[in-house]
């Protein structure tokens, strides 16, 4: 299931690289507590860069620490890119370093690259700072945040996620409705997996 989700993210990043306006590249960062997932990333991404960031031990205080680890890894990667490319951008097309952070959970196997691409395109056209998919009027994951909000996201603690940042910027929220509930199905246990027949 994790492999399927990562495969779709790889396909999504390829679609982004082919965008005409604006030309951009997605950097995939996997935040995990498990060596097995890190090893799986190496196998799946043999021909493409991936950053694995560990969130475990006393540093793992809940969802907030996963968000922090992902953002810190993105910032560190941007610094390395600037040093090696003299500020020419991360994709060699004169585009700036990553300006948005898209958070995707690994336990939603029905999300796919085409849905993510449509969501991102609509969000960029909105000009807002925060975007989220909705279904039945309820906000769902994935969510996207402007890099301008990184400091606020890094300040989160415990099980407080991005919704705390939403509340501070309610006028900057973009909601993208999706009709099909199945896209947001969580597969958390072996029983869930067997039932869904993914």
Query: Which residues lie below 8 Å from residue 5, measured CB to CB, with a gap of 6+?
Result: 104, 106, 107, 108, 109, 111
Q: In whole angstroms, give the CA distance from residue 144 to residue 133.
A: 9
pLDDT above 70: residue 76? yes
> What does the pLDDT read at residue 90?
33
pTM for this prediction? 0.79
The string of pLDDT tens digits covering residues 38-75 is 888 777 765 666 788 888 877 777 888 989 988 988 88
Q: Which residue has the higher pLDDT, 198 or 17?
A: 17
Across-strand partners of 174? 131
Q: In whole angstroms, give the CA distance from residue 98 to residue 24.
A: 8
Q: Which domains does the chain have, with CATH numbers?
A: 2-196 (3.90.550.10)
> What does the pLDDT read at residue 129?
94
Confidence of residue 84 (pLDDT cuts 50, 70, 90): very low
Q: Are 30 and 41 in contact (CB under 8 A)?
A: yes
Q: Which residue has the higher pLDDT, 167 or 44?
A: 167
pLDDT above 60: residue 30? yes
Q: Are 151 and 129 in contact (CB under 8 A)?
A: no
Q: In whole angstroms, give the CA distance from residue 34 to residue 127.
A: 37
Q: In whole angstroms, give the CA distance from residue 29 to residue 65.
A: 14
For the chain, the DSSP string reads -HHHHHHHHHHHHHHHHT-SSS---PPPEEEES-HHHHHHHHHHTTTS--EEEE--GGG--SHHHHHHHHHHHHHHHHHHHHHHHTTS-SSSSSPPSP-EEEE--TT-TT--HHHHHHHHHHHHHHT-SEEEEEETTEEEEEEEEEGGGHHHHHT--TT--THHHHHHTGGGEEEEE---GGGG----SHHHHHHHT-
Q: Which residue has the higher pLDDT, 108 or 131?
A: 131
């Amino acid at each position: 299931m994790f492999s399927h989700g990562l495969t779709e993210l790889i396909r999504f990043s390829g679609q982004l690289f082919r965008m005409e306006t604006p030309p951009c590249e997605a950097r995939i960062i996997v935040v995990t507590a498990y060596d097995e997932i890190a090893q799986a990333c190496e196998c799946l991404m043999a021909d493409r860069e991936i950053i694995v960031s560990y969130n475990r031990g006393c540093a793992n205080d809940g969802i907030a620490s996963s968000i922090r680890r992902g953002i810190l890894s993105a910032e560190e990667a941007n610094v390395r890119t600037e040093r090696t490319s003299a500020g020419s951008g991360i994709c060699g097309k004169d585009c700036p370093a990553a300006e948005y952070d898209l958070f995707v959970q690994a336990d939603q196997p029905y999300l796919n690259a085409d849905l993510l691409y449509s969501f991102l395109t609509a969000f960029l056209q909105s000009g807002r700072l925060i975007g989220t998919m909705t279904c039945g009027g309820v906000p769902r994951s994935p969510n996207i945040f402007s890099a301008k909000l990184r400091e606020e996201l890094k300040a989160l603690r415990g099980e407080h996620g991005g919704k705390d940042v939403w509340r501070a910027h309610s006028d900057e929220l973009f909601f993208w409705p999706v009709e099909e509930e199945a896209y947001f199905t969580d597969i958390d246990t072996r029983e869930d997996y067997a039932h869904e027949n993914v």
